[in-house]
Structure 1
Amino acid sequence: MHKLLRKMKKNFASSAGDLSNDGHQTNDMQISATDIYRYRKQRGVNLGSWFVLERWISDTPFRNAKAPAQSDLDVAHGSNAQEILEQHWDTWIQESDWDWIARHGINSVRIPIGYYHLCGADPSVLHATDFQPFHDVYSGAWSRIVRAIQSAAARNIGVLIDLHAAPGKQNNDSHAGTSDRANFFGDVHNQNCTLRVLKSLIQTLTRLLQESNPPLNNIIGIELLNEPHPPSDHALQKWYTEAISTIHELDSSIPIYIGDCWRLDIYADFISHHASSGPLVLDHHLYRCFTSSDIHTSVQDLSRSLADHSASFPQTLKRAAEKIGRAGGGVVIGEWSGALNPGSLRGVPGEQREYVDAQLGLYEKVCAGWFFWTYTKEHGGDTGWSFRDAVDGGVFPELAGPQRNYVDNSEGGVARRNRALEESKRQAFGAHIDYWSRISGSYNHPLFESGFEAGWNDAYTFMLSTPSLSPSVIQLGFTGAWARKRSSDHSKHYWEFEHGFMQGVDAANAHYQAAEN
């Protein structure tokens, strides 16, 4: 990938450091393999119940668990826990699974872990926690997580490490580690302990990435807490602020993913006021099968509410994505599925596929990425929750994302692409000037031109980084955040650069898909 990026940099050098008529400077950026991993459109799947267990997904590991036999701590209290867990870790996801994931166009995975899974690298994470007596049970987990990162890297798959279970539990569900009530927010000890866990996680990952040969650069982010249930937004945001600061003291560039408690606007505002050197990414989870309203709404109406981009939720999602993008981050749908309550089904052929397609269409258009929940279940046939079954059953497309096309990167091909850029830019610039000429105001239209060119060239840089064996194309996903990185001037006229950049990205993607290279 590094050799390919060097070649691309020569082809697109004209866009780096380009000085517009007003003196606006686009940053002379070295686009690295790590940038590609972290800022591309994340088309992912959750590897649920691999490390943090959920009985409805995989029940065999619970065979000796202590009552109520629903959580990791219950398993740890049972007999032969270490043997049971290590057998599960070694068989739940295998090399053939990684091949299957890559073959179907998935370019990233979200791996839910508990803080106790880190104890093999740092035993201190267990100190004064519920899992302190179970170091031996969980000490082998981290080496398996490392192998997962390596297996993903071998297939150009990014890894999002998600802290699914924090000390004291951040929500009342058993997938937060124990079957007890949550006490994360009720005890400052648990909050401070989680900060130490995150610090240890970053330090451990840093050592791993530095010592690996060949180098690993496929960690796309760290998620602070999965689905926190705070007593107030103030309590959670206060802790988020401290956690972000703790991580950025060690690594100022790593993307940090935060859960939004299903309140998009509130946490979009939080991120917009906490812009940082590393991207802050808002993780929203969307299911339409649990509430009374969902159960009594037909799948057709649920699909329409997502497919109609002028409807309430798509507008809220778009508003949040734009706001966070301008702050240097993005929005992902960290969990979603094709699951529907029987009360929503009408027995119409293809209705579940229509529901999945409506979600994909929205997430692809508005978000920086998505992660289906979950990759597989122990008992097959669930096309709503199991990604493998959904693909095999035709509920999910065979390929995630647009198909990879051949790109003529010869001198003649690059020349034709540059001519297409100039023509697309001319048309877009003309439309931009025509529109804003009708509205009184102060403008700096050359910024639109420089933004369009940077957007087009960077979009192609990402697409040309697609590995030769990948079936789907890599695309720039965090477009707002990348536009901000691309410009050194964020003053009052920056919006024109941003508008141009976004349109340039869209034009390049359309040109690529038309295979007119």
Structure 2
Amino acid sequence: MTLDQPSTIQDPSAIDILRYRYHHGTNLGSIYVLERWLHPSMFPDDTSGSSELESVKGWVANIGLEATKEKFEEHWEHAVSDNDIDWLVKQAKCTTIRLPIGYFDLPSFTENTPFEPYVHVYLAAWPTIRTLISRLRAHNIGVLLDLHALPGGANCGDHSGTNSSTASLWKSAPNRDLGVRCCQFLANEIKSGLQVTGIQIVNEADWESDRMYDWYDECIDTVSAIDPSIPLIISDAWNLSRAVEYSLKKNVAYPSQPTCPVIIDTHYYWAFSDADKQKSPQEIIAEVNTKLTELDGKEGSVIDRGAVQAIVGEYSVTLAEDSWSKSGDTPKIDLVKQFGQAQSRRYQARTGGAFFWTWKMDWLPGGEWGFQAQSDAMSGSLVTPISSRVPASNIYTLLERANHRRDERMYDAVHHHVAYWDHLTPNTPCEHWRYENGWKVGYRDAYIFFEGRQTESVGKANKIGSVELWVLKRIRESGFQGDFVWEYEQGLRRGIFDFNAVAGI
């Protein structure tokens, strides 16, 4: 006898669609966490450093605190124009922005940190971030808040906010505690109505960082206690296999208490390592399809294994000159296009979304580092998801087709499921009604994602991207218990698949 609980399933909401659809996106760029190579104009000529701290320190020394505050505020407020947003929607087909921020951009988090003397400069940082989120949200673009620069640094790079060249987050209890409090602050803002797709709690954590997964536990517990619906994104720390095993344990169907869904962020670059510099562009392009195999065999059964979902938080079409020199007779422009298309196809097939590095910089359109350059119609290197290419005039017809074929597809799916299991295990009791129930939920969910929520500024033609986490969410909400919930799960997955097949996405 099963002990099913009442279902809490409701139709997908606007925020559900923003969070769980496939993310075809870009990083914002060097706006709230400065990097000199992207925005040299934000660094005084006599400043030798390349980080946010060196920029603010240099400007205060040169022009004073108040003028520096005005300079930074102008940088933030003019980063994204209305025309930019229009371009994101119409040309780039961008669904989501990964927005790198630093702890210094949040209110009252700089005490006893290197940014404490400059707290006045950052008074308007968080309000302008909120404004940008709202402007993007009004145009059907979600925002992933990325805690790119944490106190002490999660890695040794200048994109952690300083030029200390150390990853001091992991060895400092006060720094780790401050990082948790940053997550807590963001969670409370979201709980109070700020609509974002999730919180990335750390960017590019160093390989095998001490206490990293313990710190992840603390951040996840803290945010879950505030709002367990918020997707939390962790860094794989360049070790995707270990992150997969961790997330499977976190994303279980029946947690002891409500827990946020956990997504893994992994990054792919082929321009930096000595090994990659020895490869030709053609070899690297062929290698793209070997990535993300750590997910193989880990998906498809949340009930048995837990859920794992990855995104590619950063990628580009940049290669080292050593690699380009091995191109042979093939023009570079053709290889860049092939490289971008190979990545687009792979990430769309195996992840919940991918975010190009990067968009905003002094030297737009940015070449092989530029989302603007690579999203240009002439470039053709970034392939937008097939759902984004459905003509608006066809959407109503496709929805009508999905309604018309629903019962036929459901009968076919249920019939094959029952026949298969009756043949395989003829004398074993089953609860096939759960499969049909799951199919109905999955088909309707995919339908509503595609239909959108026009009255709530969520456009049409969305496709469920984070399928594993959506299945996890629906299992938790179903109230189903016992030995046959797997039938519900498989029906749910088939329902999503069948709608996508009918709609051609």
User: Structure 1 residue 300 and structure 2 residue 282: aligned?
Assistant: yes
State the distance in 1 between where 2:281 and 2:458 align.
33
Specify which of 249, 258, 267 is matched with residue 273 of structure 1: 249
Structure-1 residue corresponding to 2:187: 202
Select 2:484's aligned residue among 464, 489, 493: 493
1:228 and 2:205 correspond: yes
Question: What is the correspondence of 1:358-507 to structure 2 with a 5 Å cutoff?
Answer: 358-380=342-364, 382-392=366-376, 393-397=378-382, 399-402=384-387, 403-404=389-390, 405-406=392-393, 414=400, 417-433=402-418, 439=424, 442=428, 444-465=431-452, 467=454, 473-486=461-474, 487-489=478-480, 491-507=482-498
> Secondary structure of the equivalent of 2:211?
helix
Tell me how far apart the structure 2 counterparts of residues 131 and 101 of structure 1 sit (CA, whole Å). Answer: 33
Residue in 1 aligned with 2:310?
Answer: 331
> What is the CA–CA distance in structure 2 between the aligned matches of 1:70 and 1:263, rounded to whole Å?
27
1:257 and 2:233 matched: yes
Pick closer, same or farther for the CA change 1:358–1:440 going to 2, 3 Å: farther
The answer to whether the Cα contact below 8 Å between 1:27 and 1:485 also exists between their aligned partners in 2 is: no
**Equivalent AA in structure 2 for residue 43 of structure 1:** H
Query: Residues of 1 paired with 2:336 and 2:418: CA distance?
Result: 44
Which sits farther off after the overlay, 298-307 or 368-377?
Answer: 298-307
Residue deviations 1:382-419, cap 9 Å, x none? 43210001122514347555223446769x975x5334
- Supply the distance in 2 between the matched residues of 1:432 and 1:300 (Cα, whole angstroms): 43
- 1:343 is displaced (CA, Å) by 3.1
Question: 2 CA distance for matches of 1:201 and 1:24?
Answer: 32
The amino acid that maps onto 1:380 is L
Letter in 2 for 1:316: E
Determine the structure 2 residue equivalent to 1:17. Answer: none
Question: CA-to-partner distance for each residue in 1:476-510, whole Å, 9 max, x for gaps?
Answer: 12222222332332544333332332232122122
Moved more, 467-476 or 358-367: 467-476
Is the Cα–Cα contact under 8 Å of residues 198 and 232 in structure 2 kept in the other structure?
A: yes
The answer to whether the aligner puts 1:41 opposite 2:26 as a matched pair is no
Deviation of residue 454 (structure 1)? 2.0
SS in 1 for 2:367: coil
**Cα distance change on mapping 1:23 and 1:91 into 2, 3 Å:** closer
CA distance in 2, matches of 1:30, 1:454: 9
Q: TM-score, normalised by structure 1?
A: 0.83
For 1:8, the equivalent position in structure 2 comes to: none
Aligned length: 474
Shift in alpha-carbon separation, 1:65–1:40, aligned structure 2, 3 A: farther
1:368 partner amino acid: G
Gaps of 5+ in 2: 252-257
Corresponding position of 2:32: 51
Deviations 1:351-380 (A, max 9, x none): 222221221112212211111111133213
Is 1:84 equivalent to 2:75 in the alignment? no
Distance 1:293 1:322 in 2: 34
Q: Given the alignment, which residue of 67, 70, 74 partners 2:50?
A: 70
Q: Residues of 2 paired with 1:481 and 1:470: CA distance?
A: 20
Aligned to 1:149: 133
1:77: how far off? 0.9
Q: Partners in 1 of 2:422 and 2:451 — Cα distance?
A: 37
Q: Report the residue type matching 1:186 in the other structure.
A: K
Distance 2:374 2:408 in 1: 42
Q: Distance in 2 between matches of 1:436 and 1:297?
A: 49
With the length of structure 2 as denominator, give the TM-score of the two structures.
0.85
Secondary structure (helix, strand or coil) at the match of 1:337 reads strand
CA drift at 1:109: 0.6
**2:169 pairs with one of 181, 184, 192:** 184
Q: How far apart are residue 70 of structure 1 and its match?
A: 0.5
- 1:85 and 1:332 map into 2 onto residues whose CA distance is 31
What's the CA shift string for 1:158-193, capped at 9, x where partnerless?
A: 111111111111110000010012211121111112
SS at match of 1:44: strand
Once the two structures are overlaid, the 10-residue window that deviates more, 159-168 or 416-425, is: 416-425
Q: How big is each residue's C-alpha offset from its partner over 1:57-85, in whole Å with a ceiling of 9 and x where there is no partner?
A: 11110125633x21011011112332332
Matched residues in 2 for 1:388 and 1:262: separation?
27
Judging changes above 3 Å, is the alpha-carbon distance between structure 1 residues 413 and 343 closer, same or farther for their aligned structure 2 residues? closer
Q: Residue 396 of structure 1 aligns to which amino acid in structure 2?
A: S
Q: Deviations over 1:127-147 (max 9, x none)?
A: 111111101111121121111
Q: Is the 8 A contact 1:24 1:447 kept in 2?
A: no
Task: Select which of 95, 103, 106 maps to 2:82.
Answer: 95
Q: CA deviation at 1:473?
A: 1.8
Counterpart secondary structure, 1:284: strand
| CA displacement at 1:236 relative to structure 2 | 0.3
Q: Residues 344 and 382 of structure 2 are in contact (CA less than 8 Å); yes or no, is this contact kept in structure 1?
A: no
Aligned position for 2:255: none
Distance of aligned partners of 1:476 and 1:200 in 2 relative to their CA distance in 1, 3 Å threshold: same
Aligned counterparts of 1:222 and 1:408: Cα–Cα separation in 2:
32
2:294 match: 316
What secondary structure sits across from 2:25 in the alignment?
strand
Q: Distance in 2 between matches of 1:54 and 1:265?
A: 30
Rate the CA distance shift 1:361–1:500 in 2: closer, same or farther, 3 A. farther
In the TM superposition, what is the alpha-carbon distance from 1:290 to its structure 2 partner? 1.7
